[in-house]
Each structure stands twice: as structure tokens, then as C-alpha cells.
Copies of this chain bind each other. A is one copy, B any other.
Amino acid sequence: MNEGHYYEDFAVGQKFHSRPFRIEKDRMIAFAEEFDPQPQHVSERTAATSQFGQLVASGWHTAAVSMRLFVNEALPPLAGGGQGVGVEALAWPHPVRPGDELRVETEVVATRVSRSRRDKGLVTVRNTTLNQNDEVVQTMSTTFMVPRRHDA
């Protein structure tokens, strides 16, 4: 039985990755209509005359899809569940277009025991989201809290 990763199971330099996930145009537009209804995200006609030349995803849609790929696939299951603490340096260097196939690559960049909760550890990862042409569409660092082993 896999009981999930504890704090002690993470180490700087570890890498994980997800499978590719296809961005469908209808879902891209629906997300933007609900959360980020700027013309380049919701109107094919307006987007055609924008600097992008076509519809592009809201960065928040890219972030949400990247979260899915990180939590569901890249990150090993966590013992007792993890808890996101915060995010640094979220950037979208290249636009996401309908039909793109995104994947997430994760690298552990820091680990430390929580100062306020000695039974928990904090793991910081750098997540890079790439498309089918290996162009980087999102970078971010995020820190999450995970239990330490009871015998630590």
C-alpha cells in the first residue's frame, strides 16, 4: 500500500512530470467567459485582429490546467493531503492556443521544516508548463505544506 509522500520523501533536485493535456477551444472560451472575459480570450473575431492573431487562453486558465496536471499527475500522492501556502513569480511567457497540448515539469527547489508547526514541512517546487513544441507557456514557484513522519 502506498501511504503517500511525507516531507522526508522530498529532496531538492527531484523532478516529476505530467502527461500532455489538450486545451479545447470551447473550454478555453467558457473559462474566460466566466472568469476573464477580455476580447482576446472570448471573441475569435476580435482576437484575429489582436497582436496574437487568434484566440489565446486566459493566463488563469493556463494556471488552473497546470494545477490539475501538477496535483493529479506530476506530484506524488501526499500523506494526509497537502495544503498550498502560496505562489511566487507566476508568468506566461508564451500564449496558449486552442488545440495546444500542455504538460507540467516539476522540480523541487527547497525544503524546510515549518517554524510554526513542527509536525509539518514546507516543500517549494518550480513548475514549468510547456506546449507540444516545447515552448514555455507558464512558469511559477509554489510552496505547499505536508506532514512529517510521525517518527521524525
Let me know if A90 and B87 touch, CB within 8 A.
yes
CB-defined interface of A70-95 with B at 8 Å, one 1/0 digit per residue?
01100000000111111111111000
CB-defined interface of A93-117 with B at 8 Å, one 1/0 digit per residue?
0000000000000000000000000
Known: A63-B60, A86-B91, A90-B86. A81 touches B34 (CB 8 A): no
Q: Is the interface of A mostly helix, strand, loop or mixed?
A: mixed
Let me know if B40 and A59 touch, CB within 8 A.
no
Bound form: Cα–Cα A35–B63 in Å: 9
Give min CB distance, A60 to chain B, whole Å: 5
Let me know if B50 and A81 touch, CB within 8 A.
yes
Tell yes or no: A14 within 8 A of B by CB. no
Let me know if B35 and A81 touch, CB within 8 A.
no
Let me know if A86 and B92 touch, CB within 8 A.
yes
Let me know if A38 and B71 touch, CB within 8 A.
yes
Let me know if A60 and B50 touch, CB within 8 A.
no
Which residue from B35, B51, B81, B89 sits with its C-beta under 8 Å from A67? B35
A residues with CB within 8 A of B: 31, 34-40, 50-51, 58-60, 63-65, 67-68, 71-72, 81-92
